[in-house]
Amino acid sequence: MLDGKVAIVTGGGTGIGAATARLFASKGAHVAVTSELAAEAMAPVVETIRAEGGKASAICCDIMDRAAIAALVEGIERDQGRIDFLIQSAGVCFAGPIETMEPRKIDLTFGVNVVGAISMIQAALPAMRRAGGGAIVNISSGAAVLGVHEMAVYAASKAAIAHFTRTLAAELRRTNIRINSIGPGSTRTQMLGFTDDELTDEQQAAMVRREARSLSPYGNAMIEPDEIAQVALFLVSDAARALHGSFVLADQGVSSAMLPPAS
């Protein structure tokens, strides 16, 4: 399905990024797993892919460093000959009252979730044009359309990247490069524990369980990273050629469940 294709997956060391990297590799793509994590931290993902017969490489990159991003893209195109897909799963999330939210957390949230994602696209587009086209998938969040308690900054950053995706689609309409975003609901990843060292692991786990119970219209299971990876795979496939600039909510119907019942 993806034989001969090359995909960059940011935030590929954990969660949705790791699941997407494994899935794309299983379909024949060479996957460049990128993260600001040390190479050893990404090793389990790459080793799993290779053990299953796939092709992958791990590359450390700070998504807030434009020079590092440029070097990353240049190196991948040089080594693999092309870049076809960019899946942007890198992200941070801080929860808390807006009155006490530290400026550094606000800056980091927008720096990674918005500016970093845009910088990756700026760097990757020329290579994707040279490859004859491709697809970009930005991982946004269901929080982009549904208010979540004490997550205003995170929600705003994810709404920003979703609308950036929609707007950029018009600019890319003659490039043979499609761009879409996904709005996952409560997904079982480290992100749902929030990137906040002020919470213990037990507190984070309890918060995740409460959110899953309160938000899921089914009242049970959280979404698994593999399920979001399947959506990303569909969006880069030829079967999704009609989708360009779309925001795909993959939230188990959470957003619709919040609406009042029809009279």
pLDDT bracket for residue 194 (50, 70, 90): very low
The residue extents of the domains of the chain are: 6-249
pLDDT digits (tens, 9 = 90+) for 131-174: 999 999 999 998 889 888 888 999 999 999 999 999 999 999 99
pLDDT value, residue 41: 83
- Tens of pLDDT along 225-257? 999 999 999 999 999 999 999 999 988 777 776
Annotated catalytic residue, options 94, 110, 154, 247: 154
**Contacts with 235 (C-beta within 8 Å, 6 or more apart), sequence order:** 135, 137, 178, 180, 182, 243, 248
Rounded Cα distance between 195 and 92, Å, is 6
Neighbouring residues of 105: CB distance < 8 A, sequence distance ≥ 6:
94, 96, 153
Burial class (CB in 10 A: 0-12, 13-18, 19+), 111: middle
CATH superfamily of 6-249: NAD(P)-binding Rossmann-like Domain (3.40.50.720)
Question: Could you tell me if 83 and 73 are in contact, meaning their C-beta atoms sit under 8 angstroms apart?
Answer: yes
154 counts as catalytic: yes
> Where does the pLDDT of residue 84 fall: very low under 50, low under 70, confident under 90, or very high at 90 and above?
very high
pLDDT surpassing 50 at residue 263: no
**What is the length of the chain?**
263
Which pLDDT score, from 0 to 100, does residue 253 have?
Answer: 77
What gap in Å lies between CA 207 and CA 20, rounded to an integer? 25
pLDDT at residue 193, rounded to an integer? 43
Mean pLDDT is lowest, of 48-62, 120-134, 207-221, for 207-221
Residue scoring higher pLDDT (208 or 43): 43
Average pLDDT, the chain: 89
For residue 185, what are its two tokens?
A: 């609901």
